[in-house]
Structure 1
Amino acid sequence: MGVIDSVVGNVTAPTQPPEWNSKGMFQLPEWGEPVIVFGILFTSMYMTRRKDFSIFGSNHGYRALPLDTTDDDSARSSDDLLYYDIDNENDGQDPIASTKRLPKRRDLWCGLKLRTPNSSRFANHLHSRLLQKFPFLIEMFYWIITYLFYRMTKVVSKAVFHADKVWEVAQQNGVRILWFEQESMFSWIFPIREHDVQHWFMNDHQGGLTFLNRAYALIHIPGTVG
């Protein structure tokens, strides 16, 4: 295991990691992963499109929420964003009042109220019709925002701790978590020691790590979309 340095309490961490024989994700060319991710997202966007809605043509007879009848709340999540706020029954959404585009009133915590613009004026704009046709684009937008925050954590970490110290800081944080699990007053919550689990994997069971690495690679995007 190499030289051992005590970091926190009785929990120790090796300065030299054990031999790693497991395999990571599938070997792909640099363009492989972006193409696969784009293909998955494009396919999902196409499969969840509204077949009875036209971006450029007329949509006479198309009935938006709340007139759509469905019992699947998950299927309505995007619809609520695009058509009708079922939790905000007020004059701003009344069919007559909406022609005047009155602001909507949002009830917040502690009795606070917030007035927001009535977005019905944009219903026939190209970008609104595009989102109505492909509601999965909204999910993709949320993913992009989340991914940007995820990438920023790496940039900020390097800026704060410098590139050569990120690994050391991460290891110290990991050891502190191990100390909390094994040595603190809350150790009774964790009857299975993480050290025993990792020791089992690292000694003659690294094939399990290969399986987990590749399962993560497959679940990371396809599983989330599913």
Structure 2
Amino acid sequence: MASEDGGPSWKDRAEWKQQVWSKWMEPLVIIIVLVSAMYFTRRKNYSVFRRSPEESARSLLSPESQRSSGSDWDRPEDMASLHPPKTRRILGRWTVRTPNSSRFARHFHSRILQKFPFLVEMFYWAIALVLYRGTILITSYWYGGSQGLWDIAQHHGTSILEFEAWITGMADVKTNNRWIEWRIQQWFLTGASAGDWRGSALAFLNRVYALIHIPGTAAFIAYYYATAPTHRRFCIARRTLSLSNFVAFFVFSLYPCMPPRLLPKEYGFVDTVEAEDANSVWMKGDYVNALAAMPSMHFGYAFAIGCTLVYESGFLRHLHPLGDDTIDDLEMNGILKQESGDVPRSVASRSILLFLGIFYPALILLAIISTANHYLLDACAGAVVVGFSFLCNRFLLNFLVFEDWLLWAWRLEKPQRLAPLAKTGKGWHGWHGWQRLALLTKISKTGKDQHSQKESAQQAKFSTAGED
């Protein structure tokens, strides 16, 4: 239970104090994750300072750099050009041509990106961080300053509590017991005050909420970038998370919402993370929008990651069968048995993925409720945002037009994934990578003008660059 001064009487009994996880350790973990991702996803046969044999072969024919997916060289001047304009579709209605930055591939900063393509993913998430920071400024301006924003956010938070009480049939109850979030937190606080295992569990959940969200998401992006059976599948996951961010930022701006921990004391919620000094360095000061409880992107990210892991486990694959176009591609390339690049997994590894896919979102859900950082409806809204973003993830492809012009302005060539990475007996290789490299090497020996249309069609099939 909470003590009279509002602080938890259990906090001095917590076994895991903040000094176990110093303030500098969390940024260090993030740096280690990102640097490790850059290292393990680097192009091993590519040199920033000199051309490799692999690069020489690839430079003769590189459709993914010279043209966009689905574009046609229908003009003579384009066919004669080494760097024809890219063709992009906007909202499925308009076709535009954008500059091709492949001519800048030999620039030093382009070669750095070619060597470490994961830097592009880091750039995408830096954009999301800037936009998130902007939600604080937008909401403060829209609602007439900090005090007006605070009052509106508090009203929205209490309205959610009362709506939940009405849904659960507890609207007639006059005590705090009518709120499920209050009952869950009090169960932990009561046990912690009694000195049982719930005190340690709550201390653990405080750290889960404060410290797992950003490092865990970064680790997942790095892991899935390196191990996704196809680059297309990784792009779907990345676009889903990115669009979820943008939708959530829009809601944050229009509907600021105070989390339970910041409500007036009469509501009975305790900020256990702050009381135990377990806050993340990213959750203080200018890094965080404290009035952005709805939707919960802590749970939204965890839900997206969990769904991805469950899907990759293969246990529910029958719910998303292969399309006819995919089957045709696989049959043409003689790799239908690989199921679009899927790596055969043991029952044990599939079971681990399934377990993590279910356990991780459940753990985050328990953490955000027990620490009074979110309402149950926040989590539901986070799941809805992720589902909507998954269905509409290709909307972000419309922004490739702006990316093409930005790359042109920076005189920079965006790195292209040669093939998805898969674990084989000889290390990390793509299912299609060796086929594509063999084709390029053959072309380099026979001459660019002697390759057949069939080989060009196969080359295009091996390309995954259309999924950005």
Query: TM tier, shorter chain?
Result: 0.5 to 0.7
Residue type of the alignment partner of 1:172: H
CA contact (8 A) 2:67 2:84 kept: no
| Residue deviations 1:62-105 (CA, integer Å, cap 9, x gap) | 3659x99xxxxxxxxxxx9x74766334228xxx8374422222
* Contact kept? 1:50, 1:134, Cα under 8 Å: yes
CA contact under 8 A between 1:25 and 1:213: conserved in structure 2?
no
Equivalent of residue 126 in structure 1, options 93, 108, 112: 108
Partner Cα separation in structure 1 for residue 102 and residue 24 of structure 2: 41
Shift of the 193–34 alpha-carbon distance from structure 1 to 2, 3 Å rule, reads closer
Matches of 1:118 and 1:25, distance apart in 2: 54
| Aligned pairs for 1:68-217 within 5 A | 83=65, 87-91=69-73, 97=79, 99-158=81-140, 160=143, 162-163=145-146, 168-183=151-166, 193-204=180-191, 205-216=198-209, 217=211
The equivalent of 1:72 in structure 2 is none
SS in structure 2 at match of 1:113: strand
Partners in 1 of 2:204 and 2:22 — Cα distance?
21
Asked if the contact 2:46/2:52 (under 8 Å) is kept, the reply is yes
C-alpha distance after superposition, 1:11-47 (max 9, x if no partner)? xxxxx96737457984455544333322322222112
TM-score normalised by structure 1 residue count? 0.64
**Structure 2: stretches of 5+ with no match in the other structure:** 170-178, 192-197, 221-468
Alpha-carbon offset, residue 138 of structure 1: 0.7
SS in 1 for 2:54: coil
Report the structure, 1 or 2, having the larger helix content.
2
Letter in 1 for 2:36: T
The residue identity in structure 1 corresponding to 2:131 is: F
Q: Which residue type is aligned with residue 164 of structure 2? A: E
* Identity fraction in percent: 34
* Aligned residues of 2:42 and 2:116 also touching (Cα < 8 A): yes
Instruction: Report the AA paired with residue 218 of structure 1.
Output: I
Q: TM (normalized to structure 2)?
A: 0.34
Give the whole-Å Cα distance in 1 for the aligned partners of 2:43 and 2:150.
47
Unaligned 5+ residue runs, structure 1? 3-15, 69-79
* 1:224 aligns with one of 204, 218, 236: 218
Superposed displacement of residue 54, structure 1: 0.9
SS at match of 1:183: helix
Q: Does 1:61 align with 2:61?
A: no
Return the alpha-carbon distance in structure 1 between the equivalents of residues 36 and 126 of structure 2.
17
3-state SS, counterpart of residue 53 of structure 2: coil
Question: 6, 15, 28: which one pairs with 1:35?
Answer: 28
Residue 30 of structure 2 aligns to a residue in which SS? helix
Helix, strand or coil for the counterpart of 1:220? helix
Displacement, 1:175?
Answer: 1.9
| Equivalence for 1:7 | none
**1:210 and 1:149, CA in 2 relative to 1: closer, same or farther beyond 3 A?**
farther
Say whether the 8 Å CA contact 1:98–1:120 is kept in structure 2.
no
Conserved? CA contact 1:40–1:222, under 8 Å: no
**Within 5 A, what are the aligned runs for 1:14-29?**
19=8, 21=10, 26-27=18-19, 28-29=21-22
CA distance in structure 2 between the aligned counterparts of 1:157 and 1:20, rounded to whole angstroms:
36
**Are the aligned partners of 1:103 and 1:117 in contact in 2 as well (CA < 8 Å)?**
yes
**2: distance between equivalents of 1:173 and 1:141?**
34
Please state whether the residue corresponding to 1:55 is helix, strand or coil. coil
Structure 1 residues 144 and 110: CA distance shift in structure 2, 3 A? closer
**C-alpha separation in 1, matches of 2:17 and 2:146:** 24
Structure 2 CA distance for partners of 1:35 and 1:155, relative to 1, 3 Å: farther
1:109-152 superposed Cα distances (whole Å, 9 cap, x missing partner): 35211211112111111122111110110111112111122223
Provide the rounded CA distance (Å) in 1 between the counterparts of 2:164 and 2:67: 44
Count how many residue pairs are aligned between Structure 1 and Structure 2. Answer: 193
CA contact (8 A) 1:54 1:133 kept: yes
- Residues in 1 aligned to 2:9 and 2:114: alpha-carbon distance in whole angstroms: 49
1:52 CA drift (Å): 0.8
**Is the Cα–Cα contact under 8 Å of residues 33 and 218 in structure 2 kept in the other structure?**
no
> C-alpha displacement at 1:169, in angstroms?
4.1
Distance across 2 between alignment mates of 1:209 and 1:47: 36
Q: Does the aligned pair in 2 maintain the 1:37–1:221 contact within 8 Å? A: yes
Q: Distance in 2 between the 1:17 and 1:174 partners?
A: 20
Q: Which string of whole-angstrom CA distances, capped at 9 and with x for unpartnered residues, describes residues 142-170 of structure 1?
A: 12111122223334455556445655544
- The SS at the match of 1:151 is helix
SS at the partner of 2:47?
coil
